[in-house]
Structure 1
Amino acid sequence: MYPLIYFVRHGETDWNAEGRLQGQADTDINAHGRDQADRNGRRLAELIGRGDGFDFVASPMRRTRETMERVRTAMGVEPSAYRTDARLVEVSFGDWQGSTFAEIEAESPGSPKARRRDKWNFQPPGTSAESYEMLRQRILPWLMEVTQKTVCVTHGGIIRTLFRTVAEMPEREAAILSVPQDRVLKLEGQFLDWL
């Protein structure tokens, strides 16, 4: 059983809007992403007030840190009073980072199709690349260490691993799960719910 955790995906970036694989590229949120972060902060304020008794943690990437700071500002609390954890960074797309699938297909015909066959276990080319299963193994120790109520700002890949781990969603379904940037995900016990 897990303690109460609210997850927020970082706000939209230009690369999200362009369909580029970001992975661990350190991109910034755009104007729309800032609006999403502000709205999520207001929603959290409705749910937990100023977050007294909550731990606030984010991926150390720029897009998640800015999202967290905007969330905290909208909650009426000190923007910088949170910590980061490197285990919360997005899945690495290795050599594919920064590319669209059309660009990958043009450069390496058939590669995107190979990924679609088993997106959960597929590892893109490159020494730093990870599959979603590798990401899940990276995030599990962090999840098991959470003992207090928490607000976490992270990435779509991390949230997909939660649905696979906590809700036991099948790999194929978890790998293609749409992860909104304008909603808050609540985890409590063994239940996940979009708010």
Structure 2
Amino acid sequence: MHTIYYIRHGKTEWNADGRFQGLQDIPLNDLGRAEAVRAGDILRNLFAREGRDPLGLGFVTSPLSRARGTMELMRGVLSLPPHDYSVDDRLREVGYGHWEGLTLAQMKAAHPDVFAAREADKWSVAPPGGESYASATSRLRDWYRSLKSGTVAVAHSGTARALMVVLGLETPQAAASLRIEQGAVYVLREDGLTKHS
């Protein structure tokens, strides 16, 4: 199993407002930029402790600007060229369909039956017009199988949950409700998952 250093993008104004972003391309806010720099510091310290040269790793991000902005700031901290990374659409966030831009209270008011069903089974029930975590696992499995080396990936909370299940590091039920922090580095290895913050 290739080691993955997984970072959720830094905060945006929609995160601050409690709005679900999904595929909407919302940029980082000031706090999000600071979280990206902090994640870069954490990575630099991890690499130093592990004796790992970042030039031997792949760097890949979701196409959404909040993830790309996070990657570029982190690479700056690592003294790497900011734009020298790849973009992979398979790392895009789980789509929230008609719920994108809404808060939890607005989702519940708009589609109470689907909201209740999803609260009972967050893993398998998709938002109206959106994607479930369960369905996202196929693209994350495909992405993981394409890796050739250890990789630094910047993406989203939904894709983190799907990837953890694909790699057997979390159960679907646990992953569906797992809080994925911004500004932290999740290291996914064969022997388990560790969070550094």
Q: TM-score, normalised by structure 2?
A: 0.92
| 1:145 shift after superposition | 1.4
Cα deviations across residues 46-77 of structure 1 (Å, max 9, x unaligned)?
22256121111000100000000000011111
Amino acid at match of 1:170: T
Which whole-Å CA distance do the structure 1 matches of 2:146 and 2:25 have between them? 26
Which whole-Å CA distance do the structure 1 matches of 2:25 and 2:54 have between them? 28
| 1:194 shift after superposition | 0.7
Amino acid at match of 1:150: T
Cα deviations across residues 143-182 of structure 1 (Å, max 9, x unaligned)?
1111202111010011111222223523221100000012
5+ residue gaps, structure 2, are: none
1:91 correspondence with 2:122: no
Tell me, what secondary structure is at the counterpart of 2:56? coil
Which whole-Å CA distance do the structure 1 matches of 2:126 and 2:22 have between them? 13
5+ residue gaps, structure 1, are: none
Number of residue pairs matched by the alignment? 192
RMSD: 1.4
Which whole-Å CA distance do the structure 2 matches of 1:87 and 1:136 have between them? 10
Q: Corresponding residue for 1:53?
A: 56
Which whole-Å CA distance do the structure 2 matches of 1:7 and 1:150 have between them? 8
Q: Corresponding residue for 1:12?
A: 11
Q: Corresponding residue for 2:37?
A: 38
| 1:111 shift after superposition | 3.2
1:117 correspondence with 2:120: yes
Q: Corresponding residue for 2:26?
A: 27
Amino acid at match of 1:118: D
Range moving further from structure 2, 84-93 or 97-106: 97-106
| 1:118 shift after superposition | 0.7
Tell me, what secondary structure is at the counterpart of 2:71? helix
| 1:103 shift after superposition | 1.1
Identity between Structure 1 and Structure 2 (%): 39
